[in-house]
Amino acid sequence: MLQLYVLNGPKRGESYRLAQGTNYVGRSLDNDVRIEDRTVSRKHLRIFRDNDRCFMTDLKSRNGTFYRGSFITPGATVEVQQGFPIALGMAVICVGEKCADEIMPFPEAMGLTMESDEEGKPGSERRRRPNQKRMEFILKLADIFRENLPLRQTQEKILRHILHFLKRIDRASFVLIDPQTPETRMVTSKSKKSHGDRSVAYCREVILQAIKTRRPIVVSNVETEEHSKLVDTLKVLKILSVMCVPLIYRSRVLGAVYVDSLERPYGFRREDLLMFMDLSQRLAIALENIRIVAELSSIADSLDSGDE
């Protein structure tokens, strides 16, 4: 039985049996697989199943279908390899049993401490924020991914939007690693204002723990957390709240996205964490694409130098 898995969004973890013949994927109710995401077109994708093989066609969608390093040409048919994520706008799906391993666990299953309505009721105040702002943020990210910009430029644009959207956050960073070592390969950071040493815009211990456990790390208020080595480190660094989500592509950890607040606690809420988990899935696909392009470029340069 061939299954399609939803890797992010409200239906994260759900699976659908692909019937023999044609299956439609999109936002409208009449699809075989409905993805409730504004970045997904009403009729986004057609998947044709022929026994154990699948072929997909992008149906001239607004935000495109990104698969194995490039956007599929609208109307063209591409064979789907099982276990490889498929990005429809900001939504990510996958065909095959191995895809189940790519689904990041829900925060509720991890015992994460999220913000409270106490301490000045920051939660109730921010819940008045209209959902429209969240949707605008998601749509802007979808536009960035569609631009197919170089890695550093993509990250800088995303970080600017993160700092604008999360009003209580003071710093945001992408930390990329070599999945084999894992040594730090690239750090991209943005801050709302100068906070001490600008070269260190994140807590290294938080990054390492997120990468090691392959799970989000969340501290909503360092003063109310139980005593631990990590909490002690955050207090020394004067970090009041922190959120870090690993970037995982086909079971390989590529790095993490990190945000923190230095001036007040409760820098985010539960919905922000879920959104970051969705973002991490889509970003990991983009990072892997850039890695593949860099490797091909390196091979081409080697061949050119060998011909000289």
Task: Render pLDDT for 270-295 as a digit per residue (tens, 0 to 9).
Answer: 888 888 888 898 888 887 777 666 66
**Residue 168, domain extent:** 130-299
Is 280 in contact with 248 (CB distance < 8 Å)? yes
Q: Report if residue 306 sits inside a domain.
A: no
CA-to-CA distance for 199 and 139, rounded, in angstroms? 30
Q: Report if residue 294 sits inside a domain.
A: yes
Q: Tell me what the mean pLDDT of segment 114-127 comes to.
A: 47
Burial 143-152 (b: 16+ CB within 10 A, else e): ebbeeeeebe
pLDDT confidence of residue 151: 85
pLDDT tens for 206-242 read 999 999 999 999 999 999 888 899 999 999 999 999 9
Q: Report if residue 286 sits inside a domain.
A: yes
CA-to-CA distance for 56 and 64, rounded, in angstroms? 13
Would the pLDDT of 138 be above 90? no
CATH number of the domain to which 15 belongs: 2.60.200.20
pTM for this structure? 0.78
Q: Report if residue 175 sits inside a domain.
A: yes
Q: Is 267 helix (H, G, I), strand (E, B) or coil?
A: coil
Query: Phi and psi for 302 in degrees, rounded to 5?
Result: -65, -40
pLDDT tens for 150-189 read 888 999 999 999 999 988 899 999 999 988 887 898 999 9
Pick the last residue of a domain from 96, 112, 143: 96
Label residue 49 by pLDDT band (50, 70, 90): very high
CA Rg value for the chain: 20
Q: What average pLDDT does the chain have?
A: 85
Mean pLDDT lowest among 149-153, 252-256, 262-266? 149-153
Is 3 in contact with 17 (CB distance < 8 Å)? yes
Residues 141 and 256 reside in one and the same domain: yes
As a whole-number percent, the residues of the chain with pLDDT over 70 amount to 83
Query: Phi and psi for 101 in degrees, rounded to 5?
Result: -70, -15
Query: Phi and psi for 10 in degrees, rounded to 5?
Result: -60, -30
CA-to-CA distance for 186 and 166, rounded, in angstroms? 23
pLDDT confidence of residue 294: 61
Tokens for 226? Answer: 């139980």
Residues 146 and 293 reside in one and the same domain: yes
Is 55 in contact with 44 (CB distance < 8 Å)? no
Residues 193 and 56 reside in one and the same domain: no
pLDDT confidence of residue 76: 95
Pick the last residue of a domain from 38, 73, 96: 96
Pick the last residue of a domain from 71, 96, 121: 96
Q: Report if residue 30 sits inside a domain.
A: yes
Residues 209 and 152 reside in one and the same domain: yes
pLDDT confidence of residue 6: 94
